[in-house]
Amino acid sequence: MPQYTTEVPILPEIMKSIDTSTMLIGGTYYPFLVSGTATPTGKPIRIFKVVNNSNATVTISWDNVNAHDICPAGSFFLYDVTTNHSNVEGTQGQYVPKGTQFYASSVAAGVGLVYLVCLG
């Protein structure tokens, strides 16, 4: 017997990235891109992961102003936003809102990409 009466599939968005070689010193935040275009989330996000496949430590911002997390070179972090909540979208739990644009910054240009993976 199914555990839930309604099942909501989790679907990935197209992976977004930033090339750290394009980051300039000065604390400027750069948007995560898809094919060269700043791309906010297209749906409410339940899980997201930042993978820093570069040699630069980056800070992550949700508002293009403030630092909200840090991702050292060669590491990743994962937010499972809806852990232990209903799988029925909109009934329980928290989501990253549709239309959220994530940004990254570094104190110096690096070599390699930083990736953003979103599941909603």
Answer whether residue 1 is part of any domain: no
Predicted confidence (pLDDT) at residue 8 exceeds the cutoff of 90: no
Residue pair 105/67 in contact (Cβ under 8 Å)? The answer is yes
Answer whether residue 108 is part of any domain: yes
Answer whether residue 6 is part of any domain: no
Residue pair 75/20 in contact (Cβ under 8 Å)? The answer is no
Indicate which CATH number applies to the domain containing 56: 2.60.120
Return the pLDDT at 88.
58
Return the pLDDT at 84.
62
Tell me how many domains the chain contains. 1
Answer whether residue 10 is part of any domain: no
Token readout for 58 is 């980056």
Answer whether residue 91 is part of any domain: yes
Whole-structure pTM value: 0.86
Q: Which domain holds residue 94?
A: 16-119
| % of residues, the chain, pLDDT over 90 | 70
pLDDT (tens digit, 9 = 90+) per residue, 12-52?
999 999 999 988 766 799 999 999 999 999 999 999 999 99
Answer whether residue 2 is part of any domain: no
